Amino acid sequence: MRKEVERARLIQKERLKESGICYNSQIPPGEISTYCKTSEEAEKMLQGAFEKLHLSGRACNRILRVARTAADQEKNRLKKKRSQKQSDIEVLTNIHGNRGINDEREHKNI
């Protein structure tokens, strides 16, 4: 978990480096829409929660910052899964390639 958090922080620092801030929690209210983009569906859901739960603008901004952090962590998980799949493919390719070599050797001995 610690490594995931560290990776998410690196993503945040990279994304925010031009702004002079380091973490999603530091995004000023006026820049939330720049760094915390939402789909139309998510926007409607947030607006519904805003009205139903009587959330303040500050609470909505906090929700968006936390959602941005969760998205950063998910990005890391997906990246890790892709990397693992690539490793698995390489292992299988090597096994298959070696098997082909061994098969050729066996045929020559026959």
Query: Which carries the bigger pLDDT value, residue 27 or residue 85?
Result: 27
User: Would you state the pLDDT for residue 29?
Assistant: 94
d(CA 84, CA 79): 9
Q: What is the pTM of this model?
A: 0.67
Tokens encoding 51: 């009205």
pLDDT tens across 46-104, in order? 899 889 999 999 999 999 999 999 988 888 787 777 767 676 676 667 676 655 444 54
User: Would you state the pLDDT for residue 76?
Assistant: 74
**Is residue 56 left, alpha or beta, with left meaning phi > 0 and alpha meaning psi from -120 to 50?**
beta
8 Å CB contact between 29 and 56: no
Residue 3, pLDDT above cutoff 80: yes
